[in-house]
Structure 1
Amino acid sequence: FSHTLGISTGLCTTSILSRRPLLRRSHFFIVLSIDQTADPLSMGITDLCHQTEPFTLFPTMKLTVQHPDKVIPDYILDQCAKHPSKIFLTQPYPDGSVKNWTFAQFLSESKRMASYIESLDLPIPSQIAIMSKNCAWWLMADLAIMMTGHVGVPIYPTLTKETTRYTLEHSEAKLLFVGKLDKHPWEEMKKGIPEGMKCVSFPMCPEGLEYETWDKCLEGREEMKEVKKRRGEEMATIIYTSGSTGVPKGVMLSFKNMTDPTFGLIKQVPVTEKDRYLSYLPISHVPFLSLTPLYLSSEQQGMERWIGECVPFVTGMHVYFADSLSTFVQDLNRCKPTLFLSVPRLWTKFQQGVFKKMEPEKLEKLLKIPVVSWLVKRKLLKALGLQDVRYAGSGSAPLPSDLLSWYRNLGLELLEGYGMTENFNYSHMTRVGRGRVGYVGEPNDGVTQRIAEDGELQIQTPGLMMGYYKNEEATKETITEDGWLRTGDKGELDDMGRLKITGRTKEIFKTSKGKYVAPAPIENQYISNKRVELACVSGRGQPAAHVIVLLNDDAIKMVKEGGQQDAIEKEMEALLKKVNEGLDEHEKVQFIAIVNEEWLPENGFVTPTNKIKRAKIEEEHAEYLDGWYGSKKKVIWHKWDDIKTIADTTQSA
């Protein structure tokens, strides 16, 4: 051959993408050997395959679980036996110190806690709850629950006392682990714990807890003698959806629901024992349990639990934890992650941080200079702590196209995906080199999709839940008789099977003109703006839609302390115009109402995952609508009566 190019499938995706110019010049392209975790068509070369003739592709292996009788806890036991002295977990403390656990230490501590649980003589299986921010003890407690034959019930540390009590009582939890709760006042939260419930406190728990401590439970205790074998069809966990409407529902997931999707994910995103991951998103969610970047379509997701538990348990990758928001940059640089998952708001803040130090126009010019470009990109990624990232994901909302392009230009391919707690978030994901702006990717391996007559996306997936705990009626409403999951999302498919979410079936509203409006896609355009924290598009029965906006902290400071209300108003007017230009006539938003309020889980405006509760927001502002529409203003300031006083005082000072 005049040109021969060999590429190892062991190369990371970034390395393969860097060889794209060579691939384009290749006359003959052959994939000879692919291992269990590699998929050449998701490694950034799909478009090139159509450009090189002839193209020969030997059959790649389909997803197969190596040992069908093994489940997630079996794999972590294997890792502990294989790498006893390798560091598995790294936990920072508030005083700046750090503690590491090797696999052997992790297993020993987990087994000693399992021995403690056995001493309680709980009926097998019983539900055992964990309420804590991400930490090493979370994983050890969960493994102890698995090894003793019980069922884990993760609880958000940000839930209201009412929701906490409901979850504990409805799940019939017999034991509760309480850990890091950050800024949430314990005196208020403890009112949600039923009287007489047995509780154990993690290290770094809130002060004033009078429960038996983790260390006290382990003191002088030997490891459990025999680990209970768990079967694939057994219930592994109950994850309660936070519920943007109604009461939370307990999603029952089996060990098979967790194991099969984990292997499907690792096939698409090859992960090894050499990878590093920073755990900071809520571990009470499926996403930490796995590793798929999510487009959060339902009221609660589990992105962080999937990534930070199942994938490390199977692969043995190193998990680092973040101590707090104030130490995030330090924690990120300590980890130097090779896998990084975040949400659009943080990706935007990363970009804004760069722009504060260098004007966008100047940066753009530097990135066009061949030699300088590489150095600038490397320096920027290092400053962000992302210089070693092989795979980066984003979830909770679609990324704006310009933000995606900006990171791509830096050499960071952001993957998006789609999923919900009810399918263990195993549904759709973008493939490297096959992404399309506005789309959340193609079906994962083993996933089948269809669009119902009413436009609803329905799927079949290995992660499909067993059902809702003690709620057969809701289960029947969610899963069709022929086994398809009703996602509640409206979707469209392109000719490659890539999915675009166009809205929620229950959120779409009709204006007084008889036209339907899907609010979610419009809201996503508003929250991608650097001044906006949250947005709620509404207008049921009104002549046109409107959007209620919550400014972020920086914008609020500009208004209240900097006297820049006029500047913010002009930016919002420009944003309104820009968004409307891309909408159909019946979708256009008439005005922006900027509210001076707090939207918190505690007051019912948002879920613990910071998803808006539309009904609550609409109800609270219904009495103001006539005045808002009648004012004919493009931007309305609601409850900002003290702005001028504060601004004038600041300027005088």
Structure 2
Amino acid sequence: MHRFVHLEGTQPEAIYFTQPYPDGSVVDYSWREVGNQARRMAAYLRSLQLPPASAIAIVGKNSAHWIMADLAIWMAGHVSVPLYSTMGTQMARYIFEHCEPRLLFVGKLDGKTDGWNEIRMAIPEGMPLVGLPMSPVSGARDVPQWDEITARSEPIQDIHQPEPGDLATIIYTSGTTGAPKGVMHSFGGMMAYALGAGEFCRMTPRDRMLSYLPLAHAAERAFVEANSLCHGVHVYFSDSLETFAQDLQRARPTLFISMPRLWTKFYGAVCARLPLRKQKLLFALPIVSGLFRKKILRLLGLDAVRIAFTGSAPLAPEITGWYRSLGLELLDVYGMSEDFCWSHYSRPGLVRMGYSGQTLPGVERRIDDNGEILIKSITGMMGYYKQPELTAQCMTADGFFRTGDRGEVDEIGRLKITGRVKDIFKTSKGKYIAPAPIENQLTHPMVEAVCVAGAAQDQPFALAMLSVDGRKQLLDLQGKLTLTAELETMLEHVNAALEKHEKLDYLVVVNELWSADNGFLTPTMKIRRNAIEERYVSKVAQWAAAGAKVVFDR
């Protein structure tokens, strides 16, 4: 909050947010305007005379007013609780009951590409709502609207100035299993992240970011919100999936973070227009090569990127190598909600395929006897909200957090994630299988997600969800034959490096999309292993009887 007030005063006319709207208009919000609107909403929140440090929730897709609402909550002396826009009724109800928010900001939602129709069923009766611009409750007679409130409220000047140890936010983990946990973070921890990330990335107010990953997740909250508030970075937003390419071109970010899924889509889109064979020919021409590489990045909207990050899952080596050939080195990162994503970053020039880089300043790491990664970070959480016993279980006696991830470290300290401690399963032969290391090797440009299963089976097997382009390829007979052959080759190559009991019996190309909406993926696109295994367990015998190395689910 101190940094925002400083930037609000020192660069008031600089543009902080650029927000596209569904009607095609684009609005710029200066630091002065952002501060003015947030202060007016903070005045309204104070008028409600809520108890100090009350929980106030925000649900909605990323938008300028999402962050303005967050600022207003803090200015009024309260605690923000972001909710995923894709969550279902059960999870939303749990969070409302668990943290008991006194008010809910309802932001940009449509009920079609998000979970609004499910979330609204969980809103406690009588809970006050405030509609942000582009909200589905806009125009509702009994719901106060952001624009109406700010128009009639005077901006407060005596905003709440928190101490470093004060609770700032409760971030609920997306959770691959069980109920979500409320991760508590302090203002001091968030500031420590922003100072460290700012130094790592050499951030200045001239930098630009595109905000499109969920602000309800620690990664986007840290990389975009915390960094922009601390360093004055210009933040652009995306209106929709359909306008994403246009929004990215408008932003031309200098700092960009994404997940393997999007990096793969970018790669696939370029290869669909210009096959790799032709790319290699052009790359080999001395005069044309440099211009051609820059043209590809410009078409993607990534030509101004000077630092690019990838994380949450492995990216196929050939795709990483392709970006590197364009002059864009993807830095793999590793972090969690519990450490506000300040743990491990790859360093430029020291990237090693399959590794997540070295510890960051203020981070200590050790590997426990069972292979579990233990982390102590300057950005570490205050604990799990209302769950002191669980907090104690997740911490060692000397203050290290038990990540639940298994890993190993190379000779210069780069970390490799080798799986989850609890994900190991046993085959009918009594052999234990760690699925994640095998999944990490099953990389193909047309495969978006993989789940290795096989508990109580003779041998493990793999389930694969294809990308949109991969699904299109199946519609053409020759395309399907080519893809089948490629997947068989991949399976053969992976099996050659595995122990006998680990070798995959077959690979199943699933027929349905895995998404956060249907519960097969978390909002951050990690697989929900239990849900996937439960969905397909009835078909295992049928697949095994087929006798094929690549099976297409029907």
TM exceeding 0.5: yes
Residue in structure 2 matched with residue 377 of structure 1 by the alignment: 293
- Whether 2:88 is the aligned partner of 1:165: answer no
Residue in structure 2 matched with residue 426 of structure 1 by the alignment: 342
How far off is 1:563 after superposition? 8.4
- Whether 2:498 is the aligned partner of 1:583: answer yes
8 Å contact 2:114–2:517 — kept in the other structure? no
- Taking the TM superposition and a 5 Å limit, the aligned residue runs for 1:118-517 are 118-182=46-110, 183-184=113-114, 186-206=116-136, 210=140, 211-287=143-219, 304-517=220-433
Residue in structure 2 matched with residue 298 of structure 1 by the alignment: none
How far off is 1:169 after superposition? 1.6
SS of the residue 1:128 aligns to? strand
Q: Distance in 2 between matches of 1:473 and 1:232?
A: 24
Residue in structure 1 matched with residue 459 of structure 2 by the alignment: 544
Q: Distance in 2 between matches of 1:421 and 1:466?
A: 11
Residue in structure 2 matched with residue 94 of structure 1 by the alignment: 22
SS of the residue 2:148 aligns to? helix
SS of the residue 1:345 aligns to? helix
Once the two structures are superposed, residues 470-526 of structure 1 have per-residue CA deviations (whole angstroms, 9 ceiling, x without a partner) of 111211111112100001111101111111111110112232344332212322333
Q: Distance in 1 between matches of 2:314 and 2:525?
A: 15
Once the two structures are superposed, residues 48-100 of structure 1 have per-residue CA deviations (whole angstroms, 9 ceiling, x without a partner) of xxxxxxxxxxxxxxxxxxxxxxxxx1111111111011111100011111101
Give the direction of change, closer, same or farther, for the CA distance of 1:185–1:232 in structure 2 (3 Å limit): closer
Larger mean Cα displacement after TM superposition, 199-208 or 341-350: 199-208
- Taking the TM superposition and a 5 Å limit, the aligned residue runs for 1:538-577 are 538-560=453-475, 565-577=480-492
The amino acid across from 1:192 in the alignment is A
SS of the residue 2:90 aligns to? helix
Give the direction of change, closer, same or farther, for the CA distance of 1:603–1:335 in structure 2 (3 Å limit): closer
Residue in structure 2 matched with residue 61 of structure 1 by the alignment: none
Give the direction of change, closer, same or farther, for the CA distance of 1:379–1:567 in structure 2 (3 Å limit): closer
The amino acid across from 1:268 in the alignment is F
SS of the residue 1:204 aligns to? coil
Once the two structures are superposed, residues 521-577 of structure 1 have per-residue CA deviations (whole angstroms, 9 ceiling, x without a partner) of 322333x42322322101123221101222233333443577854444333323322
The amino acid across from 1:219 in the alignment is A
Q: Distance in 2 between matches of 1:170 and 1:275?
A: 38
The amino acid across from 2:202 in the alignment is P
SS of the residue 1:326 aligns to? coil
- Whether 2:537 is the aligned partner of 1:607: answer no
Q: Distance in 2 between matches of 1:454 and 1:546?
A: 25
Q: Distance in 1 between matches of 2:290 and 2:446?
A: 31
SS of the residue 2:506 aligns to? strand
Give the direction of change, closer, same or farther, for the CA distance of 1:460–1:195 in structure 2 (3 Å limit): same
Q: Distance in 2 between matches of 1:354 and 1:596?
A: 25
- Taking the TM superposition and a 5 Å limit, the aligned residue runs for 1:626-645 are 626-638=541-553, 640=554
The percent of aligned pairs where both chains have the same amino acid is 46
Q: How does the TM-score come out when normalised to structure 2?
A: 0.95
8 Å contact 2:138–2:145 — kept in the other structure? no
Q: Distance in 1 between matches of 2:144 and 2:309?
A: 39
How far off is 1:208 after superposition? 6.8
8 Å contact 2:205–2:232 — kept in the other structure? yes
8 Å contact 1:110–1:143 — kept in the other structure? yes
- Whether 2:540 is the aligned partner of 1:625: answer yes
How far off is 1:231 after superposition? 0.6
Once the two structures are superposed, residues 203-231 of structure 1 have per-residue CA deviations (whole angstroms, 9 ceiling, x without a partner) of 11126762211111112210013111101
Q: How many residues align?
A: 550
8 Å contact 1:337–1:386 — kept in the other structure? yes
SS of the residue 2:242 aligns to? helix
Give the direction of change, closer, same or farther, for the CA distance of 1:482–1:587 in structure 2 (3 Å limit): same
8 Å contact 1:158–1:181 — kept in the other structure? no
The amino acid across from 2:95 in the alignment is T
Moved over 6 A (4+): none
How far off is 1:176 after superposition? 0.5
- Whether 2:20 is the aligned partner of 1:105: answer no
Residue in structure 1 matched with residue 5 of structure 2 by the alignment: 77
Give the direction of change, closer, same or farther, for the CA distance of 1:378–1:531 in structure 2 (3 Å limit): closer
Aligned Cα RMSD in Å? 1.8
Runs (5+) with no aligned partner, structure 2:
none
Q: Distance in 1 between matches of 2:285 and 2:357?
A: 33
SS of the residue 2:332 aligns to? strand
- Taking the TM superposition and a 5 Å limit, the aligned residue runs for 1:31-42 are none
Give the direction of change, closer, same or farther, for the CA distance of 1:406–1:533 in structure 2 (3 Å limit): closer
8 Å contact 2:60–2:107 — kept in the other structure? yes
Give the direction of change, closer, same or farther, for the CA distance of 1:589–1:209 in structure 2 (3 Å limit): farther
8 Å contact 2:131–2:138 — kept in the other structure? no
Q: Distance in 1 between matches of 2:181 and 2:47?
A: 31
Larger mean Cα displacement after TM superposition, 194-203 or 621-630: 621-630
Runs (5+) with no aligned partner, structure 1:
1-72, 288-303, 641-653
Give the direction of change, closer, same or farther, for the CA distance of 1:132–1:624 in structure 2 (3 Å limit): same
Q: Distance in 1 between matches of 2:327 and 2:316?
A: 17
8 Å contact 2:132–2:138 — kept in the other structure? no
Q: Distance in 2 between matches of 1:553 and 1:367?
A: 27
How far off is 1:112 after superposition? 0.4
Residue in structure 2 matched with residue 36 of structure 1 by the alignment: none
Larger Rg: 1
Q: Distance in 1 between matches of 2:224 and 2:371?
A: 34
How far off is 1:580 after superposition? 2.1
Q: Distance in 1 between matches of 2:418 and 2:425?
A: 13
Q: Distance in 1 between matches of 2:4 and 2:455?
A: 51
8 Å contact 1:430–1:441 — kept in the other structure? yes
